[in-house]
Amino acid sequence: MASVRDLSLLPKAHLHLHFTGSMRSTTLLELADKYGVHLPDALTGGEPPKLRATDERGWFRFQRLYDIARSCLRSPEDIQRLVREAAEEDVRDGSGWLEIQVDPTSYAPHLGGLIPAMEVILDAVDAASRETGLGMRVLVAANRMKHPLEARTLARLAVRYADRGVVGFGLSNDERRGMARDFDRAFAIARDGGLLAAPHGGELTGPASVRDCLDDLSASRIGHGVRAAEDPGLLRRLAERGVTCEVCPASNVALGVYEKPEDVPLRKLFDAGVPMALGADDPLLFGSRLAAQYELARRHQDFTDAELAELARQSVRASAAPADVRDKLLAGVDAWLAG
């Protein structure tokens, strides 16, 4: 047994975690009970649901489960609880910095509109950060199933709250719908406002979707991006530009993007020099959190502790964390490896 270091003690940054998707399954059960929401068996079994998102029907099923879970978040107290628990889980997994991703539009109807929803979310992040000591920021994510004008509204909102904890702008949902360039104006607004551009790409569709994120949205990070592995030229480009891929291996396997943990091209990206930040995506639906992603790299892809430490450093470097937090986390990574 060469590897004995505890991966939950390896300091790291968590850059790919969705809001509702971060919920504890026990919390979902309690909230569903509180509001009389009937949960489908797939969300009550204690086991993550069987999903397959490689076709539109499968993705629709995944999205429907996500929507049901989201419908259980109705009051500011629910939002505060969700964020606090997400922070607690992250701390337990060795995270020293969390960037949580949210489309406030989805929570607006219960919280009195888009701006009140944004305020509730940012206050909750502030409070959770103070209570747990975990540095936290927010990425506002537009939904690519909706009209690009809505994305522009969200980008303006995100910029307006840049001094309250919003650090980036994302784009999520089914990559097979719409073109990245439909959202170029929204991303220009976000970038001009000083936010980092971190759209999803290269998950459900191939390398072309990653190229679109680079060419049309000037992405500085890519949500997933794993399908870039199919294009050596693109891997070189990501490596040269230092564009970090927020890789979520357990999510990829749960959604059938790859058959087995061994098939997720972590090794290929790593060896090509593409920086990665491992993330959990939606622990509620995929059944594993942050440290488990590093565990997967160790167990199924033979990442050594030195390599796992390098992955952790890459996550920290790609984060929006201020210099003092980065330095502390990077020193912690060295200490973990030396220990």
> Which residues form the catalytic set?
203
157's CB contacts (< 8 A; 6+ apart) are 104, 114, 115, 118, 140
Q: For residue 274, count CB atoms less than 10 angstroms from its CB and return exposed for 0-12, middle for 13-18, buried for 19 or more.
A: buried
The structure tokens 């060295």 sit at: 334
Alpha carbon 158 to chain centroid distance? 17
Neighbours of 171 (CB within 10 A): 28
Residue nearest to Zn ion (CB): 281
Residue 212 or 281: the one with the smaller Cβ distance to Zn ion is: 281
Location of structure tokens 């087995």 = 260
User: Which of the residues 274 through 293 are near Zn ion (CB under 5 A)?
Assistant: 281
Cα–Cα distance for residue pair 66/172, rounded to 1 Å: 13
Q: How far is the CB of 62 from Zn ion (least distance, A)?
A: 11
Choices 31-39, 41-49, 158-166, 273-281; region in contact with Zn ion by CB under 5 A? 273-281
**Cα–Cα distance, 20 to 28 (Å, whole number):** 9
CB of 129 to Zn ion, least distance (A): 22
Of the pair 99, 281, the CB lying nearest Zn ion is at 281
Smaller CB separation from Zn ion, 103 or 281 = 281
Q: How far is the CB of 16 from Zn ion (least distance, A)?
A: 6
Identify which of residues 174 and 281 has a Cβ nearer to Zn ion in the complex.
281
Cβ–Cβ under 8 Å, residues 65 and 32: no
# binding residues, Zn ion (CB under 5 A): 1
Min CB(17)–Zn ion separation in Å? 8
Sites of contact with Zn ion (CB under 5 A): 281
